[in-house]
Chain A
Amino acid sequence: DAGITQSPRHKVTETGTPVTLRCHQTENHRYMYWYRQDPGHGLRLIHYSYGVKDTDKGEVSDGYSVSRSKTEDFLLTLESATSSQTSVYFCAISGEGGSGNTIYFGEGSWLTVV
């Protein structure tokens, strides 16, 4: 296993409430990513980070924000959850070495917005 812990693993929340998902890594890797997985769409990149306080948007960043104040933690926040954000969220990490570096995934966080 790649030393990635996601929390919470399962969450049910109400529409309009804020939600924060946490990704913690023990590998000291520079790059961290948040993806969401939905049937028919595969995995889509939400945001990623290339260092502490350095983040950038992915394909589906609307409605999401991220923060990275420490190398080991990458937080994904849904400011006001909507039903369309019901999904499985995966954190991933990658070390130095350029674009050929492998990205390793956590076990996922199942989020249901009711």
Chain B
Amino acid sequence: AQSVAQPEDQVNVAEGNPLTVKCTYSVSGNPYLFWYVQYPNRGLQFLLKYITGDNLVKGSYGFEAEFNKSQTSFHLKKPSALVSDSALYFCAVRDGNTDKLIFGTGTRLQVFP
């Protein structure tokens, strides 16, 4: 069965510093990996995805993520955090054999001025 783990409930980072939000996954087939962001009282917004090809994926708002097959990880990164990046971030995986998108429990990112 497919699953996603986000080991950190919260990540705190100072504005201007690099940020990393961690995600590991488990699937039986080829993984399709996604990151979403959620602002308070809103739906989820798509940030980026990995399907195949380059292990470094670039997405919206300056975010990028690195796919690491050997470590089954797909960590979200940004070189320089902004206060406006503060939000809830979800990693998700879709097994190539199913239509289901399975989410992690989410990581709250807090960027301090």
Contacts and interface: CB of A to CB of B under 8 A. Distances in A.
A43 B43 CA distance: 11
A40 B105 contact: yes
Contacts of B99: 31, 48, 50, 94, 99
A45 B46 contact: no
A98 B94 CA distance: 10
Interface stretch (A12-20, A67-75, A101-109): A101-109
A42 B106 contact: yes
A40 B10 CA distance: 12
Interface string B85-113: 00000101011111111111110000000
A44 interface: yes
A90 B101 CA distance: 13
Given A99-B32, A102-B46, 12 more contacts: A31-B99, A42-B6, A42-B104, A43-B92, A43-B103, A45-B100, A99-B94, A99-B98, A100-B94, A102-B49, A105-B45, A108-B41
B44 interface: yes
Interface string A61-95: 00000000000000000000000000000101010
B51 to A, nearest CB: 4
Interface residues of B, number: 29
By size class, the interface of chain A is 20 to 34
Interface in B32-87: 32, 34, 36, 41-46, 49, 51-52
A66 to B, nearest CB: 14
A79 B112 CA distance: 45
B103 A100 contact: no
Nearest to B52: A100
